[in-house]
Structure 1
C-alpha cells in the first residue's frame, strides 16, 4: 500500500491516498465474518508471519561486490572426460560463463561426476576451455584437497598466470562431513591441512576464494530458511577459527570464504534469504572487528524440489528459483536441468537450463537493478525476520559443545543438527502428504499418461577406494609438482587416521513418497482402476469427481469418469452398478453433492457393496457418517487427508 508523500506523477494526487483502515474494512466485508488471521495471514516453516499486505518500508542493504549480471554456471559432471568436454564446450558456446567441476564422489554429482585421477585426464576434460576467459568453481567433495591441487597443477601446465584467473576451489570439509558422514583426520589436523593448501595456492598467485560454505546438504536434509542461514554462519565461523589457529589473520580467513546457497520455488522467502545472508555475514565480520566485505554467493536451484514425474514442470520450478536468485542478489547461478532427478541430463536439458537464465538476463533485464526488492514492505519484513531467525539458529549452534569441539562441528558430532533437521523433515513430509504443500504434476494434477524424457545413458560411478595414499608426507607445493609429473590421485592422498564419523545427512526430494506409489502402480501388469460412482447430474458431481480423480491418479490409479447415471433428477443405481461390474475395478468411490449423499449415498453404497466393491466416499460425511458406514462406506477422502496413506490403502485394495 502506498502511503508515501505525493510522487512526481501529478495525476496520482487527484485521488485520495487509501488508508490501511479502509482496506481492512473492505476486506472484512468480503470475508463476511470469516477469521482474517486464518484466511489471509500465512506463516513460514520458521513461524515467520506473512501478511497479505505491507506498507512500503526501508531496511539495511548489503550489495554484491560488483553490480551487474550474475554469472551463468553449468556443471561439468559427466564421468568420461571426452564426453564431459563436449558438453562443457556446448554450454560455453551457448552462453554459460562459469563451469562447476563436479568430481566423482561429490554429493551434488548425484552418483555421477568427472572421474579424473590425474592431471592429463582433467586437461582432456577441459580441452578447449580457456581458463583465462571463464570462471571456474569446484563442487565440495571428498578428496577436495587433491581436487584443488590438481586444478592448480593444470593451471601451471597450461602456463596461465594464476592471479589472472577466477577460480573458487570448493574446499569444504565440514560440508563433506555433513553429507558423507566421515572425515579422514581429526579436525585440528584438517584445519592444518586446509591452511597449508590455502597458503600453497596463494603462494602460486591464486586469489581464491578457497573455501565454500555449502548449505545444500542441510537444505536437502529438510532445513528451513533460518536453519540454512544458521548452518552457513556457524560453518563460516568454524573456518574462521580454524584458519586463525593456523596463523592466518581474520581478514585473510574471511577473504578465503565463499558461500553456496539454495533457491527454491518460494519466491519471497528465497529473495529474503539471500538478502539476509549478506546482512548476517556483514554482522559476523563486524563482530570479528573487520570492515565488512560483500559475501561471494553462488546459488543453485533446489534439488529437493525436483520431481521424476511430469518432469517438464521442473522447468517452471527452475524459472521461479532462478528469478528469485537473480532478484535476491546471486553472484553466480546454476539452474539444475529439468531431467536431473532422472539421470545425467543430456545436451537439450542443459541448454534449457542455460536459456532460463539467459532470458532472465537478456530479455527480462533482472540484473539492471542492484537490489530490486529494496523498499518493498513484504521483502523488507521477511529479510529482517530471517535475519533475526537465522541469527538465533546460529547462536543455538554456537552454544553446542563436545569434548574438544564447539559450534557447527559439535552440533554435527553430537547429533543436534541431525535432530533439528529430522524434525523439519517430519513436518514437511506431513505437509506434502496432506497436500498442504502441493507438488504440481505429482501430488496435484498428475499426468499418468506422461511422455518419457531422455537422459544420457551413463552408469553411475562406483569408484573403488584404491590405495590409501602415499606414506611419504608431502606438502601441497610438492604434490602439485608431482601431479604435473604424472602422480595419480590415490598417491596424493594421505592415509586416514583417527578421523571423524557422524550420522550423514540424508538427501531428500519432497516428491519421493508419491513417486514410490507411482512406481509401484506402474510395475503392475496393467494400470489399476478406481471406479468413480457418480451420483446425480453432472453439475452435481463434477467437483468431487475431479477431486477424487486427481487424488487417485497421484498414486498411479486410473479413475475415469463419464457423464454420470442421472435419471429423472436422481441416480439410476442399476446402471451405476452395471458400469462398476463392467469396469473390473475393486474399489468404488462415491462422488456427488452433500444432498445426493443424504438422499442416495447409503443406497448406492449398499448396492455397490453387494456387487463386490470396497466403497469409499469423496468428501466429509458429517452427520450421516454412521449411516454411510452401515451401508458399506469404509473410508472417506477429503481435502486435508493424508493422501500418501490413503493411496497406500487404495493400492492394497486394487492389487489384491
Structure 2
C-alpha cells in the first residue's frame, strides 16, 4: 500500500568491519597468554563449540541458511494428564478446566485405553475444535475407532502415540503393523491428527546425546517407512501420518539447534525415500520437558529448568509443548504445580512474545553453525545404523551406545564437571524433603532412569539411615543404589574433599555389580553384589520361592535386623572399601553434615 512506511536499511558505516582474524587476535591479547582453545565448550556429542562466531561462519555453510518453515505459530500449550485405570471422567473434567485457564490442548496418557470414556469426552470437549493427544499402550486402532464413532464426520485435531509397554519404541513392528495401518486408514483426510509417533523422547529421557536423539529418531521413522506401506497404504500416507515427540533438556542452545536439525534432516529423509517435499511442511513436533534432567532434591529448581527447556522448544520450532509440574517425580497431581506448569508457556507467549517471530534463531552465526554440526553428525550416525541393518536389528546397539553416554553423564555429575543446581552444587544444607524418602524409594512409579538418580538415591538412603538411627529402630534395610554406582559415590565423595584430605581410594567391585547401602540402627555400610545375589536376597526377604515367578525387587527392602544381617552374610554381599574413611564418614559428608 502507498501509505505503508518504507523501512530504512540499518547500517553502521561509521564502525570499521572486524574480521575473524582480528577478533582472534584481540582474544589472544585479552587472555594474556592463556590458550583461546580453553574457552571452547565441549559437547557430549563429540565436538566443541567455539568461544565466538563471526560472519565468516556463513561461508562454511554455503551462505546464510533460509529460515525454517514453521507452519503453526504460535505453538500450542498442551499439558499432559495421566489417566489411571478406569473411565477417566475426573481427568476429562480436569482437562476442561485447564483449557479454560490457558491451555490450548490436552495430552491424555491413558493407562487403560479400552475403558476411557470417549463419548463423555466428546460431550465435554468438541473433538472437531479441541486439540487432544492420546498416548496408549494397547489398541491404538480401537481407541481411534471409538473417537470416530463418538464424533462422526469430524476431522480430529491432535495426535495419537502408540507406546507398547512390552516392546519399547523402535523395536519390532511386526506385531503391530495391522493396527498402525488401520490408524493411518482411519485418519485419511485428517491432516491435523497424525497417528504414527516417532518417539525421540524415548532416547532423550534415557541419556542419549542430541546427535543420538536425532539419528535414532530418523532410524525409527525409516523403520516405519519400510514396514508399513503395502497395497492399501502408500509411503506418502505413512510419511504424512508421522509426527515427532522430543524431550527437551536444559542445555539451552544445543536444544534449540537439535529441533532445527531435526526439521532439516526430516526433509533429507523424505528426499531419500523419493517422497514429496511438501510433506516436510506437515511435520509436527511435540516437545515436552525432559524427565532425564528432573530432580527430587531442591525440586523448585525444576521450575527454572523447565523455563529454559520451554524457551528452547519454542525458539527451536516446536508446534506443541507440554511442561511437566515441578514436583511430578514425587507428588500426586495438584492444582498449584499444574497451574505453574501451564502458565509458564502462557507467559512466554503472552508476555515475552516468543510466538511473534518465525524461526527467531535464523541467521545466528552460532546457532546456524551448531544446527549444521548436529545435522551432519546425526546423519552420519543414522547412516551407520541403517548400514548395520536398521531397526529393529540394531536396537541393542543403540541402547548400548545410549548407556555409554548416560554413564558418562553420571560420571560428570559425580565429579562436579557437570553442575546440577541443588543436587551436586549449591545444595540446600539440611534440606527437609516435602515427601517421605522411604515411600518414594518403595514406589514402583519412581523414575530411576534420570541423570541425577545415582546422586539422589544415596542422599535419600542416607537420610533414611540417620532417621532410623535417631529413632533407634529395631529394623534394618538394604537400599539398591543402582548398577555400578560405587564409582559415582567415590567421585562425589572426592569432589567434596579438600585437596589435603584426599586419600588413596580403594574399590574392589567387579564391573556389572549392583551398589547397595546396608543400614542398621548402629551402622551404615556401602556394599556391592551381583544381580543374581540381590535377586536371591530379595526373594528370601519377601518369601518368594519360585524362581520361575517374575519378580522385580523394590529399591528398598527392610526386615528385622537379625534376619537382614544374616541374609546379607549368606548371600555374599561385599563391603566397598574407602581407605581412610568409614562408611559413616562418607555418608556424613555426602549428606552435607
Structure 1 residue 83 displacement after superposition? 3.1
* 1:445 and 2:426 matched: yes
Judged with a 3 Å threshold, the aligned counterparts in structure 2 of structure 1 residues 155 and 53 are, in CA distance, closer, same or farther, namely same
**Contact 2:113/2:143, CA 8 A, preserved across alignment:** no
**Contact 2:288/2:324, CA 8 A, preserved across alignment:** yes
**Contact 1:68/1:367, CA 8 A, preserved across alignment:** yes
Please list the CA deviations of residues 142-199 of structure 1 after superposition, one character each: whole Å capped at 9, or x if unmatched.
21xx244224314423x35322x213121356x97235x986xxx4453233213322
Q: What SS class does the counterpart of residue 102 from structure 1 fall into?
A: strand
Q: Point out where structure 2 has 5 or more consecutive residues left out of the alignment.
A: 1-7, 471-487, 506-525, 527-575, 589-593
Structure 1 residue 654 displacement after superposition? 6.2
- The equivalent of 1:168 in structure 2 is 159
Q: What SS class does the counterpart of residue 246 from structure 2 fall into?
A: strand
Judged with a 3 Å threshold, the aligned counterparts in structure 2 of structure 1 residues 129 and 461 are, in CA distance, closer, same or farther, namely farther
CA distance in 2, matches of 1:14, 1:192: 67
**Contact 1:339/1:453, CA 8 A, preserved across alignment:** no
Which of 110, 115, 120 aligns to 1:118? It is 115
Q: How does 1:359-370 map to 2 (within 5 A)?
A: 359-370=347-358
Q: What SS class does the counterpart of residue 393 from structure 2 fall into?
A: helix
* 1:252 and 2:248 matched: no
* 1:77 and 2:89 matched: no
Judged with a 3 Å threshold, the aligned counterparts in structure 2 of structure 1 residues 296 and 182 are, in CA distance, closer, same or farther, namely closer
- The equivalent of 2:584 in structure 1 is 652
Q: What SS class does the counterpart of residue 74 from structure 2 fall into?
A: coil
Which of 406, 410, 413 aligns to 2:393? It is 410
CA distance in 2, matches of 1:48, 1:458: 38
CA distance in 1, matches of 2:105, 2:114: 23
Q: How does 1:300-449 map to 2 (within 5 A)?
A: 300-401=288-389, 407-412=390-395, 415-449=396-430
Which of 67, 89, 106 aligns to 2:96? It is 89
Q: What SS class does the counterpart of residue 77 from structure 1 fall into?
A: strand
Structure 1 residue 277 displacement after superposition? 0.4
**Contact 1:78/1:344, CA 8 A, preserved across alignment:** no
Q: Which has the higher contact order (CA 8 A, sep 6+)?
A: 1
TM-score by length of 2: 0.73
Judged with a 3 Å threshold, the aligned counterparts in structure 2 of structure 1 residues 20 and 90 are, in CA distance, closer, same or farther, namely same
Judged with a 3 Å threshold, the aligned counterparts in structure 2 of structure 1 residues 648 and 239 are, in CA distance, closer, same or farther, namely farther
Which of 254, 261, 268 aligns to 2:253? It is 268
CA distance in 1, matches of 2:582, 2:314: 43
TM-score by length of 1: 0.66
- The equivalent of 2:570 in structure 1 is none
Larger radius of gyration: 1
- The equivalent of 1:134 in structure 2 is 130
Please list the CA deviations of residues 201-232 of structure 1 after superposition, one character each: whole Å capped at 9, or x if unmatched.
438x6863110000122112221111111111
CA distance in 2, matches of 1:93, 1:347: 14
CA distance in 2, matches of 1:647, 1:374: 55
RMSD over equivalenced CA pairs, Å: 3.6
Judged with a 3 Å threshold, the aligned counterparts in structure 2 of structure 1 residues 182 and 409 are, in CA distance, closer, same or farther, namely closer
Judged with a 3 Å threshold, the aligned counterparts in structure 2 of structure 1 residues 655 and 166 are, in CA distance, closer, same or farther, namely closer
CA distance in 2, matches of 1:648, 1:427: 27
Which of 164, 167, 179 aligns to 1:177? It is 167
**Contact 1:528/1:654, CA 8 A, preserved across alignment:** no
CA distance in 2, matches of 1:339, 1:648: 39
Q: What SS class does the counterpart of residue 363 from structure 2 fall into?
A: coil
**Contact 1:308/1:342, CA 8 A, preserved across alignment:** yes
**Contact 1:336/1:353, CA 8 A, preserved across alignment:** yes
Give the length in aligned residue pairs. Answer: 477
CA distance in 1, matches of 2:105, 2:443: 24
Q: What SS class does the counterpart of residue 169 from structure 1 fall into?
A: strand
